[in-house]
Amino acid sequence: MFSKVYEALNWASSFLESAGREAKAGELLLMHVLNVNRTQFFMNMRDEMSNEQVEEFIAIVEKHRGGIPVQHIIGHEEFYGRQFIVNENVLIPRPETEELVLGVTKRIKQHFSKDEKLVVVDVGAGSGAISITLSLEEPRLTVYSVDISEFALKVASENAKQLDANVEFIHGDLLTPFIERQTKVDIVVSNPPYIPNDEKLSDIVVDHEPHLALFGGNDGLDFYRRFMEQLPLVLKHKALVAFEVGEGQGNAVAELLLTTFPQSTVEVQNDINGKDRMVYALIG
């Protein structure tokens, strides 16, 4: 069928495209089989592949064609320049969430004094992408991350260990653990489930990513409404709230925040694709 790297890539690209999958997936899968980085991959395009490599590559390309996410096949996804373990128990980190983290670090510098020690809670730990990245990018933060899924917390804890990040993971429902402990925090950041229950998603997402982390009620806003009940109980007088939202939800979430915190400065920010994706509230 093929024996050289470039031939394998051409085959996978057309094979996947014919099934309605992204051709670029072939590149990621081939790099995984060859155990090379992107630079090595393009330098070695004319290299011969072993029979074992060819067989493994065909098998995993067929797996992806059948609907298994590339990240589940190779076992990881890159986020903010670091590799995070992912599996069926956590959402695969997306580039839009990198923009949320960048927005949080920028606003920390704007809203708080330079030497202030701050406590941040990431609600919905997932793979730990948000909390671990914040901990590594902003060492002055004390970082907590909450998730209702113990399976997700296991993945996040493993990522924190591998990346040497100091994050405390807590099993619980939204901010309830902090309300029970009567703990006050400076920053709450969350990428909660925000997809409306009846929205059609690709089979790759629906069949292989945790529904617990995807769906947010009939209009997708259920979790934001619950946050509005809990946030006033945990935030300090001067605080920052940062949410990722679904396309078209920015203004609705901004209204919820302004109703809850009338004196706050609320901003809806578009992502790199021009979609409303982040909502920030500067309080106090």
Binding residues for substrate: 191-194
Record the tokens describing residue 47, joined without a space: 């290299």
Place of tokens 């993945």: 155
User: Exposed, middle or buried by CB within 10 Å (0-12, 13-18, 19+), for 228?
Assistant: middle
Record the tokens describing residue 207, joined without a space: 């069949």
Binding residues for S-adenosyl-L-methionine: 124-128, 147, 191
Torsion of CA 100, 106, 107, 113, to 10 degrees: 150
Nearest to 26 by CA among 36, 38, 37, 14: 14
Binding residues: 124-128, 147, 191-194
User: Exposed, middle or buried by CB within 10 Å (0-12, 13-18, 19+), for 133?
Assistant: buried
Q: Is 18 helix (H, G, I), strand (E, B) or coil?
A: helix
Can you tell me the distance from the alpha carbon of 218 to that of 189, in angstroms, rounded to the nearest whole number? 23
Record the tokens describing residue 122, joined without a space: 């990431």
Residue 205 C-alpha from the chain's centroid:
14
